[in-house]
Amino acid sequence: MEVKYQKSVGLTDTPLTYCPGCGHGIVHKLVAESLVELGLLDKAIAIASVGCSVFSYQFFNCDAQQAPHGRACAEATGIKRVLPNNIVFTYQGDGDLASIGIAETIHAANRGENITVIFINNAIYGMTGGQMAPTSLIGQKTTTSQDGRVQALHGSPIHISEMFATIEGVAYMERVSVYDPKHVIQAKKAIKKAFQYQEEKRGFTMVEVVSSCPVNWGMKPTDAMNWVKTNMIEEFPLGIFKDKGDQNA
């Protein structure tokens, strides 16, 4: 029988721990497929962060390190500087990257560290049970903003892609989403390009994925994907914010 579809060899056989309808599972698959298709898997080192994806070191079928909360880009820097010919990537949530780890991420980008960051923006702290994230939308109810996020109290959702596009060391910055098949295909293109650029030693690459957390948003998986499409994309428009490859071409 002809095999039409199978699990990527870039993923291990360990069952994923993600909830149904969660974007994490989709993005794992895209990262794994990209590494395999580019022939980079056997020299890749994944950095798992702290959040729902903390076990990603068990899922990506390559070497891995598990970083303290927010420190993934520092750890990746440490590795990449001593192993400049390997592929080093981090996989981080919005609490991990945009809150506690913002300094590590900005400075890694500013140094132009030749690493790839996969940034999952689901507008909430998933693992700890639905607290407000720096990317939570105005009005969004979370367990620590029970009347909704208020700009005067909590500030506005932070725009990582727009911000990082201003940093000289960034070679590639794209914001994608995974709420429907068309966007999943686009997300894969972006992730693949980011790894390709790393292989070509162009500098810091990041792909922000606007994703879902049906469980902590209190929605059915389909409603969550709809909420991404209708509410999140308005706040976090998709697109390429920086592409040094293009400028150089």
Partner 1 sequence: MAKILMKGNEAIALAAIKGGVDAFYGYPITPQNEVPEYLSKHLIANGKVFLQAESEVSAINMVYGAAGAGARVMTSSSSPGIALKQEGISYIAAAELPCVIVSVMRGGPGLGGIQPSQADYYQATRGGGNGDYQLICYAPESIQETIDTMKGAFDTADFYRNPVLVLVDGLIGQMMESVDFDRPVKQRILLEKSWATNGTKNHPGSRNIANSLHLDPVKLEEHNIHLQKKYKLIKQNETQVEMIHMDDPDYVIVAYGTMARICRSAISMLNEKGIKVGMIRPITIWPFPEQAFDQIPSTCKGILCCELSMGQMLDDVLIANNGRHKVGFFGRSGGMVPDPEEIVDAIVNFKDKVVK
Ligand X SMILES: Cc1ncc(C[n+]2csc(CCOP(=O)(O)OP(=O)(O)O)c2C)c(N)n1
Rule CB under 6 A: say whether 36 interacts with ligand X: no
Residue 137 near residue 232 (C-beta atoms within 8 A): yes
Q: Which of 12, 19, 106, 231 binds ligand SF4 (CB under 6 A)?
A: 19
Where is 117: in which H helix or E strand? strand 116-121
Binding-site size for ligand X (CB under 6 A) equals: 17
Where is 174: in which H helix or E strand? strand 170-177
Q: Which does 215 bind (CB under 5 to 8 A by kind): ligand X, ligand SF4, partner 1, none?
A: ligand SF4
Rule CB under 6 A: say whether 22 interacts with ligand SF4: yes
Segment 54-93, which members bind ligand X (CB under 6 A)? 69, 93
Closer residue to partner 1 in complex, CB, 54/232: 54
Segment 122-141, which members bind ligand X (CB under 6 A)? 122, 124-128, 133
Q: Which two tokens stand for residue 9?
A: 């060899």
Residue 95 CB, shortest distance to ligand X, in Å, is 3
Residue 94 CB, shortest distance to ligand X, in Å, is 4
Q: Which two tokens stand for residue 129?
A: 């049970």
What CA–CA distance (Å, rounded) separates 187 from 76?
A: 22
Would you tell me how many other CB atoms lie within 10 Å of the CB of residue 165?
A: 18
Q: Which does 138 bind (CB under 5 to 8 A by kind): ligand SF4, ligand X, partner 1, none?
A: none
Number of residues in the chain: 249
φ, ψ for residue 175, nearest 5 deg: -110, 125
Q: Return the residue matching tokens 């992730």.
A: 191
Residues within the interface to partner 1 (CB under 8 A): 12, 41-45, 47, 54-55, 57-58, 61-68, 71, 74-83, 86-87, 103-104, 107
